[in-house]
């Protein structure tokens, strides 16, 4: 019978936890009805169908890591970049290998940052690089998983090696003019496969104009979305002491 065929292949506990879907039951039912030279062939077809289901369902559940206690709550961190950029995907492939085959946490950090969205990879200016180099007081390769931009307020830039995803034309020119190097992250992997003698930096994530408008309720000091600044634009109740109150 159908029930007998299923319970012969898998334990009752496993089936109670994960009952077979209709397609598995149908495959077994057909295999029992089909005219074959040996009944053993039919049972093999049924067994293969059920084992395939149990193997794939177990793999899917373990890969997704569904939090059943909190229902529908799943891990939302990225495991791969959303971008279709082939060069970025090649870098991910490289740093996946390095993160897996070395014990250096540097490679794991770089790999995680390669997955991030553009908002979470803010640009780093040359002035930020200079201020962090001065703090460290030693010559190290500066690593930025993002874009390096120029800062025209900075008068002089020292000789330093910078590795980044991308450089603006003026930033690259200033680094090279100072006698330094502007290298890519795959070149860095050849020079420092474990991230030795490197300084990894990030830009200010909350320096965007949009962040100034975030926040709910009073006393958050959020920037109003107004077409202009003036006497007639959001200067009444709630914005002046003489008009009820001021937040």
Domain ranges for the chain:
2-64, 86-201, 214-247
Say what the pLDDT of residue 61 is. Answer: 44
Q: Is residue 90 scored above 90 in pLDDT?
A: yes
Say what the pLDDT of residue 221 is. Answer: 85
Which secondary-structure segment (H or E) carries 9? helix 2-9
Say what the pLDDT of residue 62 is. Answer: 47
Say what the pLDDT of residue 19 is. Answer: 63
pLDDT, one tens digit per residue, over 209-238 is 999 999 887 888 889 899 999 988 989 988
Give the mean model confidence (pLDDT) for residues 179-207: 96
Q: Is residue 199 scored above 90 in pLDDT?
A: yes
Supply φ then ψ for residue 101, to 5 degrees: -95, -5
Burial class (CB in 10 A: 0-12, 13-18, 19+), 45: middle
Q: Give me the torsion for CA of 188, 190, 194, 200, rounded to 10°.
A: 0
Burial class (CB in 10 A: 0-12, 13-18, 19+), 83: middle
Cβ–Cβ < 8 Å for 185, 177: no
Give the number of other CB atoms < 10 A from CB of residue 106.
19
Query: Which one has a higher pLDDT value, 5 or 210?
Result: 210
Contact residues for 241 (Cβ-Cβ < 8 A; gap 6+): none
Domain 86-201 class in CATH: alpha beta
Q: Is residue 89 scored above 50 in pLDDT?
A: yes
Give the mean model confidence (pLDDT) for residues 83-112: 97
Residue 206 confidence class, pLDDT cut points 50, 70, 90: very high
pLDDT, one tens digit per residue, over 13-66 is 555 556 666 766 666 666 556 555 555 566 666 666 666 665 555 544 444 555
């Amino acid at each position: 019978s159908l029930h007998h065929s299923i319970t012969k292949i898998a334990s009752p506990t496993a089936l109670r936890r994960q009952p077979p879907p209709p397609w598995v039951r149908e495959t077994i039912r057909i295999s029992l009805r089909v005219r074959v030279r040996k009944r053993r062939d039919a049972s093999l077809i049924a067994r293969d169908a059920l084992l395939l289901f149990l193997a794939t369902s177990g793999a899917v559940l373990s890969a997704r890591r569904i939090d059943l206690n909190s229902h529908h709550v799943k891990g939302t961190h990225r495991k791969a970049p959303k971008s279709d950029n082939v060069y970025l995907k090649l870098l991910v492939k490289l740093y996946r290998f390095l993160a897996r085959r070395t014990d250096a946490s540097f490679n794991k950090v770089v790999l995680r940052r390669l997955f991030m969205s553009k908002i979470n990879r803010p640009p780093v200016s040359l002035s930020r690089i200079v201020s962090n180099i001065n703090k460290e007081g030693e010559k190290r390769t500066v690593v930025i998983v993002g874009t390096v931009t120029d800062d025209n307020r900075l008068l002089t830039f020292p000789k330093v090696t910078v590795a980044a995803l991308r450089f603006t034309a003026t930033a690259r020119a200033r680094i090279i003019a100072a006698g330094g190097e502007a290298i890519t992250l795959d070149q860095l992997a050849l020079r420092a496969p474990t991230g030795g003698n490197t300084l990894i930096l990030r830009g200010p994530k909350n320096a965007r104009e949009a962040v100034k408008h975030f926040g709910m309720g009073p006393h958050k000091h959020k920037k109003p979305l107004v077409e202009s600044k003036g006497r007639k634009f959001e200067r009444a109740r709630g914005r002046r002491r003489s008009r009820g109150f001021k937040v």
